[in-house]
Structure 1
Amino acid sequence: MVMLSRLSDMVAEQLQAYRLVNSKFPPIALFDDVASADEFDALYQIQALTNPRLHNEVGLIELIPRKEIPFGIPGCSYATAPFTHVNPAGSRFSDGSFGVLYLAATMETALAEVRHHQSQYWSNVHGLNYERFMFRGLSCSFVDNSMKDATSIPMTDPIYDPDDYTHSHRLGRAIKEAGFPGLRYRSVRSQENHCWALMTPMPVSSIVQTAHYEMIWNGEITSVNKISEA
């Protein structure tokens, strides 16, 4: 396991990174319609009286403290959704008990990461011969103040194992429990590039849509295409 003492501290700077989200998941309007936690709570209570789908839309809001939600920024819902709609199967730096906002240094890196995980998931769906998956490309501005840096750790380290996330889960939990807002690390699916795992949406100042992409499945993902600009 990589100990936190082996990780470098990042020098704070404003950064741009990229992300893909499945187009079947729309932005969560409630996060984007308010500018403060008080406004959110008031509107949530009102909508809860008439919108039976509200819980599904917002997700498990109790998983994130109100003070960590960046109300008022462009794309607040995109920044917050990974922390209220947590994948119970986990991810590289989460065992499924908490959310992580994953970002990539380039859109090409984001596409490579998503392509791998989509291939892994859909290959287990029996009888799926052809499908077309649509994604929104997102551009994220954030500050990496107080984050940790694992890019100096070699790719041979267990945290970068392509399939076994045991060690990276331990590192992710250590980062979160120590109160660090995130981690920069090497991309396993796009060599020579890197990504970030944000443990909170607080560092984010905006997330805006850039384009739409499609992935074509024919027993495997055979093509990835940019189909429209935002």
Structure 2
Amino acid sequence: MSLPLTRVRRHNTHRLIQSKYSPREDSVLALIANNGDHLAHIFDFDNATNDRLLAEHQLLPGISAQELVAEVPYASVVNAAYTHARPEGSRFNGPDRGAWYAAFDVRTSQAEVAFHKSVALAEISRFVDNVTYDDYLADFNSDFHDLRSASEKQDCLDPNSYVASQTLALELLESGSHGILYASVRRPKGICVCCFRPALITNVRKGPTYQFIWDGMPTPTITRL
């Protein structure tokens, strides 16, 4: 692969995840169960369709249980990034295996999240919503393929298509790549990282929570709570 490798030594990268997906000591499923027997059946049903748990039992094609992390803070959050891929995939991953996307600064993460949520709201022609996102901080110290100066690969940063970028990502993943360093498509001068390997995401911890409010316009108001 012709892309150069860059050593990424970076503390406090930012990944925003909707607060409703934050780990909790008690599952929300407990609220709809009347007794322990009902609760057990509900959890069995939920677990049967939970991609993260399926991967832990070697039942997903894109990632093995050996690659997932365990007994580290927010392991379930890290693993979920790889086991809950979007049906159409994302910029540097297909539908069978997700990836951990993060930005070097929180404003870039906010721009990325706001863009994708606004696209979803545009599909229903209604820019009205109120969503909170938790900022998950993580550190990296590893080599990543650097897309920023690769002029021949700039089609991988097409704002409207993931065809070229997913093709490149699959080639890199199969060659053993750790991930990709690239310029944000949604915020000028922003820098993002896509990490292919769960074990390389270190010191994960939860930072601030941000409220995104769409009040009739495609661009939300963002407030730190």
TM range (shorter): 0.7 to 0.9
Cα separation, partners in 2 of 1:182 and 1:163, compared to 1, 3 Å:
same
Among all aligned residue pairs of Structure 1 and Structure 2, give the percentage whose two residues are the same amino acid.
26
1:211-222 alignment to 2 at 5 Å? 211-222=208-219
SS of residue matched to 1:24: helix
Matched, 1:20 2:13: no
C-alpha displacement of 1:48: 7.9
1:76-87 alignment to 2 at 5 Å? 76-87=75-86
Question: 2:7 corresponds to which residue?
Answer: 11
Q: Give TM-score, length-normalised by structure 1.
A: 0.79
Could you report, residue by residue, the CA deviation over 1:106-135 in whole angstroms, capped at 9, with x for unpaired residues? 111100111111111111025x35221111
Instruction: State how far apart, in whole Å, the 1-side matches of 2:65 and 2:76 are.
Output: 13
Structure 1 counterpart of 2:220, one-letter code: S
Instruction: State how far apart, in whole Å, the 2-side matches of 1:23 and 1:155 are.
Output: 38
Question: 1:196 corresponds to which residue?
Answer: 193
Instruction: State how far apart, in whole Å, the 2-side matches of 1:50 and 1:83 are.
Output: 24
SS of residue matched to 1:92: coil
Question: 2:43 corresponds to which residue?
Answer: 51
Which structure shows the higher helix fraction?
Answer: 2
Cα separation, partners in 2 of 1:221 and 1:155, compared to 1, 3 Å:
farther
Cα separation, partners in 2 of 1:204 and 1:124, compared to 1, 3 Å:
same
CA contact (8 A) 1:104 1:110 kept: yes
Question: 1:35 corresponds to which residue?
Answer: none
CA contact (8 A) 2:136 2:204 kept: yes
Instruction: State how far apart, in whole Å, the 2-side matches of 1:65 and 1:13 are.
Output: 27
Question: 1:120 corresponds to which residue?
Answer: 119
Cα separation, partners in 2 of 1:98 and 1:156, compared to 1, 3 Å:
closer
SS of residue matched to 1:225: strand
Q: Give TM-score, length-normalised by structure 2.
A: 0.81
Question: 1:141 corresponds to which residue?
Answer: 139
SS of residue matched to 1:13: strand
CA contact (8 A) 1:142 1:204 kept: yes
SS of residue matched to 1:174: helix
Structure 2 counterpart of 1:93, one-letter code: F
Instruction: State how far apart, in whole Å, the 2-side matches of 1:103 and 1:198 are.
Output: 8
Question: 2:29 corresponds to which residue?
Answer: none
Instruction: State how far apart, in whole Å, the 2-side matches of 1:26 and 1:69 are.
Output: 18
Task: Compare 136-145 and 104-113 and name the one that shifted more.
Answer: 136-145
Structure 1 counterpart of 2:142, one-letter code: D
Cα separation, partners in 2 of 1:132 and 1:178, compared to 1, 3 Å:
same
Task: Compare 174-183 and 49-58 and name the one that shifted more.
Answer: 49-58
Instruction: State how far apart, in whole Å, the 2-side matches of 1:133 and 1:191 are.
Output: 24
- Of residues 141, 145, 150 in structure 2, which corresponds to 1:153? 150
C-alpha displacement of 1:225: 2.3
Question: 1:131 corresponds to which residue?
Answer: 129
Structure 1 unmatched runs, 5+: 30-46
Instruction: State how far apart, in whole Å, the 2-side matches of 1:16 and 1:154 are.
Output: 28
Structure 2 counterpart of 1:150, one-letter code: L
C-alpha displacement of 1:84: 1.3
**Superposition RMSD on alpha carbons, in Å?**
2.5
CA contact (8 A) 2:83 2:98 kept: yes
Instruction: State how far apart, in whole Å, the 2-side matches of 1:155 and 1:115 are.
Output: 29
Structure 2 counterpart of 1:82, one-letter code: A
Aligned residues: 206
CA contact (8 A) 2:114 2:220 kept: no
C-alpha displacement of 1:160: 1.1
